Structure 1
Amino acid sequence: MDREVHHNGVPGSVASPRVSIVLPVHNGAAFLDEAIGSILGQTFADFELICVDDGSTDETPAILARHAVADRRIKIITNRPNKGLPGALNVGFAAALGELHSWTSDDNIARPYMLERLVQALDTNADAAIAHANYSVIDAQGTVIGFQKVGPASDILFGNRIGAAFLYRAGVTRKLGGYDTALFGVEDYDFWLRAARSFRFVTLDEDLYLYRRHDGSLTDQRALHIHRMVAQVIRRELAHVRDQDLRARVLFEHGLASRLDPRLEMLWQAFKASPLLALRRAPAIARHLTFHLVRALSPRTGLKRKTG
């Protein structure tokens, strides 16, 4: 069976919640209880939590089943075989009943008032389709180790400024057709880039989420692939940009950003778009090229790439 849908069977299950939250999980038992608990503890309670078990082989199914028995707002969808994160998100949102959509990860924590504040933001700004907010970064033990202030969506070409705490209208999901399964690793950035072409964002200057960072969560090989996909979606978006100065600034920003990929073609395109800007960025370009040259010649780096 490709997909199994389990409604928890508790009488009186919510038929049409205001918010649908998708929680995709693949072997995420370590932090799953805390992640689910943070959603169930929201001050805004009119939601469904759609947990998509994406082919887990650890204790994830048992944890999900236990929570579903205890709370009728939880649905469980099981993918066999697993579809990957963007595919799991699409499966979850295909089952969503709410007029507002969000998703969270199995190792992150939503602050208790996250949904309340994001719903209020969209209710107050009827012309906006997406609300997003700042977040803190935590380590594996849950200790706060950083803070991320999100930027306005107008700066999204320069990087993913939307962050991890967000809520958007169901019409966004319908118009964009969900998440691109070919862009696993940058599916969220791709989604926001496409959304920014058609929808208005509202930014909350509030810390509403705890994003957990894992040491060694990506191999060098996987991280390099993600860096290259970012460059791919940026090139695509720049096809919609007529302003040559903006194109050059975006190309230089991304061209110089990666410590894994020299992005020489991107830098060359930036130079052609604005030689004057290239002259001003010459010191940064020189440092970037020197770093990648040394890295390429390092025996240790070469071995890491082969075995990553």
Structure 2
Amino acid sequence: MDKLVSIVLPVYNGEKYLAQSIESVLNQTYKNFELIIVNDCSTDSSEEIILKYKSQDDRIVYIKNEANSKLPKSLNNGFAIAKGEYFTWTSDDNMYHIDAIDTMVGFMEQHTDVGLVYCDFNMINEEGEFKYKVTVGNPEEQKYKNTIGACFLYRRSVAENVGDYDTSLFLVEDYEYWLRISLSYRISPLHMCLYDYRWHNDSLTLTRSTEVEQSVARLHWKYLTEYEKSDMPENELFEYLDFLMKYCNQQSERIRIKLKFSLKHKKYVIRELRKLFSRIKSK
């Protein structure tokens, strides 16, 4: 028997594209799933749309937050009642390709040493027209940028081990969660395009880009101690340093060269990184 997949769909005023998002789940070739829709106190017609689909398909589970709680709390509320052996979540403005869940479950069943799989996806515009394809990065790059993207699947056992999404990290809750997973489990890219990510004027990525950038910087600061304890290879450490300095608009070639030749002294490197992020932490 196919293993149950729990798909959480957080919704906040998503009436414009919500029906398309729900239908992309219901139309999956993989049939053994539960769709847990979490309404974060929407004030538009989202609830009406949700109830319409729930009345037509008993695989839909509907819960409504008592107060507007934002994305990470909505995810935690949804997964708290999830029954599946595999977990994933999607957004109210994005869509799965018809074979997305089937393909990812098949990959995970064949690769039992993988804790999380993530896939390529298409960027589409407001009208749903193709813009370009996004090829996800390698697992090693996850240390300094979010390579996982929008289409992924992970094991229930992984979620039970790493815990909930951090409600204090709104806007980067997903990236922080992937970092936590990647510290303890093997993550693997699957270079098949299985998802449509919609770029539109009301998306969080666009409307709060400055906040996202600051939150990502703080997240890197938080994980410095984890990398300090880990046995990161020198080439990966320099790539991480190089990225962070560019991220902080630190363009000094002299400093970059100095750090590059100091990689064997990890304590020095970490100290320099802390200097870079001291101003961010104090904000």
State the TM-score, normalizing by the size of structure 2.
0.84
Match of 1:69 in 2: 55
- 1:234 partner amino acid: H
In the alignment, what sits opposite 1:167?
153
* 1:215 counterpart residue number: 201
Q: Which of residues 60, 66, 69 is equivalent to 2:46?
A: 60
- What pairs up with 1:163-242 in 2 under 5 angstroms? 163-215=149-201, 217-218=203-204, 222-242=208-228
Contact in 2 for aligned 1:248/1:270 (Cα 8 Å): no
- 1:129 paired residue among 95, 115, 132: 115
Q: For the structure 1 residues 202 and 63, does the alpha-carbon distance in structure 2 shift closer, same or farther, using more than 3 Å as the test?
A: same
Contact 1:17 1:48 in 2 (8 A): no
Structure 1 residue 252 corresponds to structure 2 residue 242? yes
- Cα 1:166–1:270 shift into 2, 3 Å: farther
| Partner-residue secondary structure (3-state), 1:256 | helix
Note if contact 2:124-2:131 (Cα within 8 Å) is conserved in structure 1: yes
Residue type matched to 1:253 in 2?
A: F
Residues 247 and 273 of structure 1 are in contact (CA less than 8 Å); yes or no, is this contact kept in structure 2? no
RMSD: 2.4
Is 1:90 matched up with 2:76?
yes
Identity of aligned residues (%): 36
Distance 1:185 1:217 in 2: 11
Match of 1:105 among 91, 96, 100: 91
TM-aligned CA deviation for residue 23 of structure 1: 0.1
In the alignment, the residues of structure 1 paired with residue 68 and residue 153 of structure 2 have an alpha-carbon distance, to the nearest angstrom, of 25
CA distance in structure 2 between the aligned counterparts of 1:98 and 1:138, rounded to whole angstroms: 30
Distance (whole Å) between structure 2 residues aligned to residue 131 and residue 25 of structure 1: 24
Q: Which amino acid aligns with 2:243?
A: E
Q: CA deviation at 1:216?
A: 5.5
> How many equivalent pairs are there?
256
The one-letter code matched in structure 2 to 1:96 is: A
Task: Report what 2:266 is aligned to.
Answer: none
Shift of the alpha carbon at 1:228?
A: 1.2
For the residue of structure 1 that corresponds to 2:6, the secondary structure is strand
Q: Distance in 2 between matches of 1:195 and 1:29?
A: 32
Larger-gyration structure (1/2) = 1
Describe the superposition over 1:41-98 as per-residue Cα deviations: whole angstroms up to 9, x where unpaired. Answer: 0000000000000010100010000000000000000012111000000000001000
For 1:220 and 1:213, the matched residues in 2 are separated by 8
Structure 2 Cα separation of the partners of residues 195 and 238 of structure 1: 16
- Please state whether the residue corresponding to 1:197 is helix, strand or coil: helix
C-alpha distance 186-146 of structure 1, shift in aligned 2 (>3 A): same
Query: Which residue is 1:10 aligned to?
Result: none
Equivalences for residues 281-292 of structure 1 within 5 A: none
CA gap 1:61/1:271 in 2 versus in 1, 3 angstroms: farther
Residues 271 and 98 (structure 1 numbering): CA distance in 2 closer, same or farther, change over 3 Å? farther
1:78 to 64, 89, 98: 64
> How much does 1:109 deviate?
0.5
Q: Aligned with 2:208: secondary structure?
A: helix
8 A contact 1:23–1:52 mirrored in 2: yes
1: distance between equivalents of 2:177 and 2:53? 30
**Where does the alignment leave 5 or more consecutive residues of structure 2 unmatched?**
262-283
Contact 1:132 1:165 survives alignment (8 Å): yes
Q: What one-letter code is carried by the residue in structure 2 that aligns with 1:173?
A: A
Q: Which amino acid aligns with 2:240?
A: V
